[in-house]
Amino acid sequence: MNIDWSKLSFHYTETDYIVRSACKDGVWEEPYATKDMTIQLHVASTGLQYGQQAFEGLKAFRGVDGKARIFRMRENARRMAKSAEGLMMTPPPEDIFCRAIVLALKKNIDYLPPYETGATLYFRPILIATTHEISVAPGKDCELIIVATPIGAYFPGKFHCTPFIVERHIDRAAPFGTGTWKVGGNYGASFRATEAAHAQGYDCMFTDAKTHKYIDECSAANFIGIRRITDRSADRVQTASLTDRYTIEYLTPRSSAILPSITNDSLITLAKEMGMKVTRRHIRVEELAQMDEAAACGTACVISPIGKVYDPDKNITYHFGDEPGPVLTKLYHALKDIQYGRAEDKHHWCDIIDNS
Ligand code: PLP
Ligand code: COI
């Protein structure tokens, strides 16, 4: 095996093993590793016909101390269980999910990129319903499959900004539909909008499907806005990187159609520790004008700062500058420092895997 880690991006590179565990009549088998990268799926499987499927995304890091760390895998296990319940599949138990991830890491340990590269080993757990049925009804038998693939540093050069375009004509998920679950159908539904945005040189900012007034998600990532509140009556907080005294507000959308991002949850914890005010509420697109910094956040990028947002329906562009702002930069490094073992892991977010 000879991988040029610096050439990796967010694309699939085959590794040696996948890990599988099937659930039949409510009983899960012990996860096992196999070199066969294909699965046999019966043509009548409800996963194939009706999209009864869910997936996850999480990473392992080679730390500064040479140890392998998996970030918040129990949270991914819980989210997959919720997605499974949402689509009426049998949720994989947390211990089966976590044992499967650890096995996928151990069997593919040669693909865990060295510390200095900034590359990581990404796990893509997939859950698919395997019950044979032709009527429109959910199947309970399913299979959990863990795919592992090394991916490159999201920002191989400089931490930089990306432009977004507001989308009001294609919806990713309905207000009380499947948006809070990580199911394939949401992503298929988003392709037309994300590809149209890319063709114009942007990433896609989805608005809520009911009114199209509020920010929902940034492509496949949550939205974060940073606002400095200078109101003299507000509580004053000083952050280490800023010289003046402000309250810094971390704003993120409340919506019944967005995925609960584990990265966003981690950043919220760090933001509170840094003394920021965290607000989760409906955010109107026009409120971008009052924000000092904005970003997308998710496992792949941690934080991807937004340089500008173009609203084609109103012909307005909201500018955030060409360089990532100080608050988002501080949050970005704080989380990465924990993932790479450079900072204390106070919240026990990382599982250190021995002998790997
Ligand atoms: N929103 C969507 C639609 C996603 O697909 C993802 C990625 O998993 C996120 C948000 C970010 O979630 P997380 O931070 O758990 O990766
Ligand atoms: C992320 O991990 O941040 C994502 O955007 C998930 C996507 C690749 C499905």
Model confidence pLDDT, tens digit, residues 41-69: 999 999 999 999 999 999 999 999 999 99
How far is residue 221's CA from residue 297's CA, in Å, rounded to a whole number?
5
Task: Quote the CATH superfamily of domain 162-339.
Answer: D-amino Acid Aminotransferase, subunit A, domain 2 (3.20.10.10)
| Residue nearest (by alpha carbon) to ligand 2 atom 9 | 220
Predicted local distance difference test score (pLDDT) of residue 234:
47
Q: Which of 259, 266, 270 to mutate to test the pocket of ligand 1 (most atoms within 8 A of CB)?
A: 259
Q: Supply the DSSP string of 199-255, one letter for each residue.
A: HTT-EEEEE-TTTS-BEEEETTBEEEEEEEE--TTSPPB--TT-SS-BEEEEEEE--
Residue 57 beta carbon below 6 angstroms from any ligand 2 atom: yes
From residue 127, how far is each of 104, 123, 227 by CA, in Å? Answer: 15, 13, 39
**C-alpha 21 – ligand 2 centre gap (Å):** 23
Tens-digit pLDDT profile for residues 343-352: 999 999 999 9
Q: Which of 263, 264, 301 to mutate to test the pocket of ligand 1 (most atoms within 8 A of CB)?
A: 263
| Residue nearest (by alpha carbon) to ligand 2 atom 5 | 220
| Residue nearest (by alpha carbon) to ligand 1 atom 11 | 298
**C-alpha 45 – ligand 1 centre gap (Å):** 27
Which helix or strand (DSSP H or E) is residue 76 part of? helix 73-86
The ligand whose atoms approach the alpha carbon of 154 most closely is 2
User: Which are the contacts of 355, defined by CB distance < 8 A and separation ≥ 6?
Assistant: none
pLDDT at residue 131 is higher than 70: yes
Tens-digit pLDDT profile for residues 164-204: 999 999 999 999 999 999 999 999 999 999 999 999 999 99
Give, as one character, the DSSP assignment of residue 284.
B
Residue 300 beta carbon below 6 angstroms from any ligand 2 atom: yes
Let me know if 162 is exposed, middle or buried by CB neighbors in 10 A (0-12, 13-18, 19+): middle
What are the start and end residues of each CATH 3.30.470.10 domain in the chain? 5-151
More confident residue, 48 or 234: 48
**Atom of ligand 2 minimally distant from the CA of 55:** 9
Q: Which CATH architecture has domain 5-151?
A: 2-Layer Sandwich (3.30)
**C-alpha 245 – ligand 2 centre gap (Å):** 35
| Residue nearest (by alpha carbon) to ligand 1 atom 4 | 220
Question: How does strand 120-129 pair with strand 53-55?
Answer: antiparallel
Helix (H, G, I), strand (E, B) or coil at 88: coil
Decide: 77 and 117 in contact? Cβ < 8 Å.
no
Decide: 298 and 267 in contact? Cβ < 8 Å.
no
| Residue nearest (by alpha carbon) to ligand 1 atom 2 | 220
Give phi and psi for 144, each to the nearest 5: -100, 130
Predicted local distance difference test score (pLDDT) of residue 355:
72
**Ligand 1, pocket residues at CB < 6 Å:** 57, 217, 220-222, 259, 261-264, 298-299
Tens-digit pLDDT profile for residues 91-117: 999 999 999 999 999 999 999 999 999
Decide: 89 and 113 in contact? Cβ < 8 Å.
no
What are the start and end residues of each CATH 3.20.10.10 domain in the chain? 162-339
The ligand whose atoms approach the alpha carbon of 301 most closely is 2
Neighbours of 348 (CB within 10 A): 8
Give the residue-averaged pLDDT of 154-163: 87
Global confidence as pTM = 0.95
